Structure formats: structure tokens, C-alpha cells
């Protein structure tokens, strides 16, 4: 039996002959990548659903930076900071982002968590342009929006700065208003109060709306005798787990550093992240980009650890047991030795 094909059928057949090998190659390439990822040691990173850490994790995933370091990254969405701590303590994740004050408290209680730097202390006091506030001396009797509660690190630093420069505790001469960062932003935009101390990315959004910074945390730290950059937020994990999985944690931390390098140098990557960040406008995206870059930590060595110990002692006096628990000094081993240069 003989078959005859029309010209159009012959054309489609020729196309299929060329397309089929390409499809087969794509299939096996994708299958090969899946097999490769399955063969790599997995690291489970818990991250708040709407936290800025997702920007970096997105870059790591998009550019396959973890795979390049021999690690399979799994991102576990979490609802809150407390949920992150519970997930880590319950072995539902291997790594979370939190501060080293928490780590020190845990180590003082016999739990061997460690901290690797992720972001330095940045930002400062933001004020409305019509507030008349130009410095710490203008805050007497004024309402100040404070994110993070009474033991927020930036608020404690500002109080210490006031004590050091004026001899008065800002908590006694001003009126702090504690609240969630999104609410505080809305209230200061509506002129409900003249000044706000909030997390850096909310500060960046306020800057894009015309508010200005009058007291920088960098200046506060220098006034308090802390000369080197101090990371306040970092990757936190169990020390015993890290020692058993050294290549995994080292690979992830290298991928983190590589992602930060991209975010520090590539404006195009920030454009790609726009749908995740949801800045609203170009000015806000630029402010968030610049604010993130300001928080990327540089060298981390013994000088930075010493500064962290000084800061712990300083803030512990103001924050008390709510901040540091029963330990007056930072617990030995708080910082992961693999992160110290």
C-alpha cells in the first residue's frame, strides 16, 4: 500500500523531523536538572512570606546560585517571626533570618544556635518636611512612631544616643507610639505624628514620598563608640547541624553572598524583581534598591564581633531581660566561625 502526501503535509513532516529532536533534548535537559537537584544536599530556609529576604532568595533561585555551590535550596514560607523561631526549634527548617540577640539568649539557655551576617543596621529617624524637627533636641514632647515595640534595636539606640548627647532618656521626654510598620507609615503620611523610627524598607518607601532622615543610625553608633559596621540580622541555624553539614551551609552562604553581589551591582535585576517587590512607582523602587544596598555587610571579623559585644552590653542596659534575658554579656560562640574573616 502506498501513501502520497500533499506539499503542506510534507512541509509539516519536515518541521516535525527538526522539532522532535529539540523537544527530546529539552526534555532530557530538564529531567537531568531535576535529577541533579534531587542528588544535591537540601537546605530548608524559612522565610516570612512578605519579608525582604525573599528578594535575595528569588535571585538565588532565578540564577541557580545554590545549585552552582552544590546545594538544593528549598524555601519554606512562614507567617511570622515567632513562626520562624518555632519552625527552627522544631526542625521544620534548617535556617531562618533573625537577630543575634535571640541567638545569644538561646545559647545562654543551652541551645547551640549560631548567626551568620545578612544585613547591617541601617536607616534612621524619618520626619515630615513640615515637622520642624532637625535633630534629637527637637523631639522633646513630640510623638514618635516606633516599629518593633519597646525593645526595638533602633529605638534603644536612639534612647542611648539621647542619654549620651543630652543626658535625658528619649523615652521620658518624648511620646513613643508603638505599632506595625505599615500602619505607622499610613499614620505619618496622614500627619498623625511628625516622626517615625521603622524598619529600613518602610523608611525607603517614606523617603520616596518626600520624608527625610534627620538622624542616621550610622551616626548614632559612632557617637556611642561603635566604629565598625554591626550586622543585626542574619542567617541562623544549629551549630551541630552545620558542623555535620559543613559543605551545605557553606554552599548556601556563598550563594547568599553571590546574590547580594548581583543586587549590589545590577540595576536590571531590581527591574526584574519589580513584580515581587511591588514598589508602586519608580522612585520607591530606587529607594528600596539603595536602602537594600546600604545594608549589605562588608568584611566581618574580630573587630565587628567586638563591636557587637559592646552593642549587646549597651542595649542590654536599656532593654533589660525582655531583650537579653538573664545574660549581661553576649554568649560565646554566638557568631558562626565560618563567617568570621
Q: Which domain holds residue 204?
A: 124-223
Instruction: Pick the last residue of a domain from 184, 201, 223.
Output: 223
Q: Is residue 3, in this structure, part of any structural domain at all? A: no
d(C-alpha 59, C-alpha 263), whole Å: 8
Instruction: Pick the last residue of a domain from 169, 198, 223.
Output: 223
Judgement on whether residues 256 and 308 belong to the same structural domain of the protein = yes
Task: Report how far apart the first and last C-alpha atoms of the chain are (Å, whole number).
Answer: 78
What's the whole-model pTM score?
A: 0.85
At 45 the pLDDT is: 98
Q: In whole angstroms, how far apart are CA 284 and each of 126, 147, 276, 333?
A: 15, 20, 13, 39
CATH number at residue 268: 3.40.190.10
Q: Is residue 290, in this structure, part of any structural domain at all? A: yes
Judgement on whether residues 209 and 268 belong to the same structural domain of the protein = no
Cell triple for 158: 536612639
At 20 the pLDDT is: 47
At 38 the pLDDT is: 62
At 341 the pLDDT is: 65
At 10 the pLDDT is: 52
Which residues of the chain are under the pLDDT cut of 50?
Answer: 1-3, 5, 13, 16-18, 20, 22-32, 34-35
Instruction: Count structural domains, the chain.
Output: 2
pLDDT tens for each residue of 170-184:
999 999 999 999 999
Instruction: Pick the last residue of a domain from 223, 251, 277.
Output: 223
Judgement on whether residues 136 and 160 belong to the same structural domain of the protein = yes
At 327 the pLDDT is: 87
pLDDT tens for each residue of 286-325:
999 999 999 999 888 888 999 999 999 999 999 998 898 8
d(C-alpha 323, C-alpha 329), whole Å: 12
Amino acid at each position: 500500500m502506498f501513501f502520497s502526501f500533499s506539499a503542506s503535509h510534507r512541509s509539516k513532516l519536515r518541521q516535525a523531523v527538526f522539532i522532535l529532536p529539540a523537544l527530546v533534548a529539552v526534555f532530557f535537559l530538564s529531567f537531568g536538572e531535576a535529577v541533579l537537584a534531587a542528588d544535591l544536599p537540601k537546605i530548608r530556609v524559612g522565610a516570612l512570606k512578605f519579608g525582604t529576604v525573599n528578594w535575595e532568595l528569588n535571585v538565588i533561585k532565578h540564577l541557580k546560585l545554590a545549585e552552582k555551590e552544590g546545594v538544593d535550596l528549598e524555601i519554606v514560607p512562614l507567617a511570622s517571626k515567632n513562626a520562624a523561631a518555632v519552625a527552627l526549634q522544631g526542625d521544620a527548617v534548617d535556617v531562618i533570618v533573625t537577630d543575634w540577640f535571640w541567638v545569644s539568649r538561646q545559647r545562654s539557655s543551652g541551645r547551640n544556635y549560631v548567626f551568620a551576617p545578612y544585613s547591617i543596621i541601617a536607616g534612621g529617624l524619618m520626619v515630615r518636611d513640615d515637622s520642624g524637627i532637625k535633630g534629637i533636641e527637637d523631639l522633646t514632647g513630640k510623638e514618635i512612631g516606633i516599629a518593633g515595640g519597646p525593645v526595638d534595636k533602633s529605638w534603644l539606640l536612639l534612647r542611648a544616643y539621647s542619654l549620651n548627647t543630652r543626658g535625658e532618656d528619649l523615652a521620658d521626654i518624648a511620646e513613643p507610639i508603638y505599632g506595625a510598620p505599615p500602619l505607622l507609615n499610613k499614620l505619618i503620611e496622614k500627619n498623625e505624628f511628625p516622626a517615625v523610627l521603622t524598619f529600613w524598607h518602610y523608611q525607603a518607601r517614606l523617603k520616596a514620598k518626600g520624608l527625610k532622615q534627620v538622624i542616621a543610625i550610622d551616626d548614632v553608633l559612632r557617637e556611642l563608640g561603635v566604629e565598625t559596621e554591626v550586622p543585626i540580622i542574619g542567617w541562623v541555624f544549629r551549630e551541630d547541624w552545620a558542623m555535620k553539614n559543613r559543605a551545605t551551609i557553606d554552599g548556601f552562604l556563598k550563594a547568599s553572598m553571590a546574590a547580594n553581589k548581583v543586587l549590589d551591582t545590577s540595576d536590571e535585576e531590581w527591574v526584574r524583581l519589580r513584580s515581587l517587590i511591588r514598589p508602586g512607582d519608580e522612585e520607591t523602587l530606587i529607594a528600596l534598591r539603595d536602602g537594600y544596598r546600604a545594608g549589605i555587610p562588608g568584611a566581618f571579623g574580630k573587630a565587628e564581633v567586638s563591636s557587637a559585644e559592646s552593642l549587646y552590653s549597651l542595649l542590654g542596659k536599656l532593654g533589660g531581660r525582655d531583650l537579653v534575658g538573664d545574660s549581661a554579656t553576649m554568649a560565646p560562640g554566638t557568631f558562626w566561625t565560618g563567617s568570621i574573616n
